[in-house]
Amino acid sequence: MHMKLSIERGVLLKAVAQAQSVVERRNTIPILANVLIEAEGDTVRFRATDLDIEVVDRAPATVDTAGSTTVAAVLLNEIVRKLPDGALVTLTDQGGNGRLTIEAGRSNFQLATLPKEDFPVMASSEYEASFTAPAPVLRRLFDKAKFAISTEETRYYLNGVYMHVAEGDGGRVLRCVATDGHRLARIDAELPEGAEAMAGVIVPRKTVNELRKLLDDDEAQIEVSVSETKVRFTTPNITLTSKVIDGTFPDYSRVIPQNNAKRLEVDATEFAKAVDRVATVSSERSRAVKLSLEEDRLVLSVNAPDSGAAEEELAVAYGDERLEIGFNAKYLQEIASQVDRENAVFLFNSSGDPTLMREGDDLSAVYVVMPMRV
């Protein structure tokens, strides 16, 4: 099978980089380390998979001879990355000799190929629901939720972001939730037209990270298709298809406190920096920071018997009874860093109960963090 095409290096790099990031570095099946290159018309497609996720990148090219082949994805990416910017790159597969020739200027590479017939193309699905959402909306939903994804393999149903239709305060919303049992993020967006029929799906962590690369363009509209087993995200140049986690996401609404009345308002950036400073003296991974609250005053303190102690005082808005409560420092920093524009508002009940955080009066992003004993 012959194939010959020419393509601009920058365009090629973008397409190959996106495809190769899906490829698992340690592969027992050789073909899974390869990218499938398919050239026809004025387009070349690059397809890569790890059997759970498939990404297809479309790029404009001058196709002299239509055809297809597969070649090592990481290697191709490395070569293209090292070619001079602005170079015209020619890919030629004579067929028969098991080699793909890459030429640019005076450089010439020959890469081993594997038969395209062996490349596993993901089975197509019937998608029950399809809707379109602006890239910034999806970016916010997933970016703000993903820090709370669990890494515990045993609770596999928590290893992703639960995307579903829910009842918000002002009607139905598109909602993303993630939790690891210690903290939880619940992010809402306006329900896009066509999403009403969507079954709730758990989007795996790796898919969430790959999806992020599709969402950089603020002007882009992303088509989202959902079935019970798969989710697909499509832009004009890229299609990302992923299996969803086969499991039931727990009823998260039970862990979101409704009646926490003690209200602390604090500058989120200052708070995160102060937590970071006092946590420095503690060497443990589960660094505990104690919050001591009294009227309009917050003292953050860490006491690490083996290495020392630290405290810092912050001026805050707080008008309730005195409270001492401890948290994992990393969890506090991560939650505080989700706040974009407003102050962080923390709502406490007691030192043993889950704490709620939101941005100002915005209820479309709500976070829960469990305290720890200090």
Chain segment 265-309, per-residue pLDDT in tens:
999 999 999 999 999 988 776 689 999 999 999 999 999 888 889
Question: What is the fold of 3-118?
Answer: DNA Polymerase III; Chain A, domain 2 (3.10.150)
Which residue is listed with tokens 């055809």? Answer: 67
- With beta carbons less than 8 A apart as the criterion, state whether 265 and 359 touch: no
Q: What is the pLDDT of residue 256?
A: 95
C-alpha–C-alpha distance, residues 52 and 156, integer Å = 15
Q: What is the pLDDT of residue 304?
A: 85
The three-state secondary structure class of 2 is coil
Q: What is the DSSP letter of 200?
A: P
pTM above 0.85, yes or no: yes
Amino acid residing at 195: A
What six digits make up the tokens of 357?
């955080």
Q: Dump pLDDT digits (tens) for 121-143.
A: 888 889 999 999 999 999 999 99
Residue 280 Cα distances to 274, 301, 312, angstroms: 10, 11, 12
The three-state secondary structure class of 84 is coil
Q: What is the DSSP letter of 253?
A: G
Amino acid residing at 286: S
User: pLDDT confidence of 25, banded at 50, 70, 90?
Assistant: confident
Lowest mean pLDDT among 111-125, 139-153, 239-253, 271-285: 271-285
Q: For the beta carbon of residue 341, count every other beta carbon within 10 angstroms.
A: 8
Same fold, 129-254 and 257-369: yes
Average pLDDT taken over every residue of the chain: 94
Q: For the beta carbon of residue 193, count every other beta carbon within 10 angstroms.
A: 9
C-alpha–C-alpha distance, residues 163 and 177, integer Å = 7
Q: Dump pLDDT digits (tens) for 49-74.
A: 999 999 999 999 999 999 999 999 99
Rounded (10°) CA dihedral 36, 40, 43, 48: -10
CATH 3.10.150.10 fits 129-254, yes or no: yes
H/E element holding 73? Answer: helix 73-82
Residue-range domain boundaries for the chain: 3-118, 129-254, 257-369
pLDDT at 6 exceeding the cut of 70: yes
Q: Which of 283, 309, 368 is nearest to 334 (CA)?
A: 368
- With beta carbons less than 8 A apart as the criterion, state whether 62 and 42 touch: yes
Please, is 52 exposed, middle or buried when counting C-beta atoms within 10 Å of its C-beta (0-12, 13-18, 19+)? middle
CATH 3.30.70.20 fits 257-369, yes or no: no
- With beta carbons less than 8 A apart as the criterion, state whether 115 and 191 touch: no
For range 157-163, the mean pLDDT:
98
C-alpha–C-alpha distance, residues 244 and 200, integer Å = 10
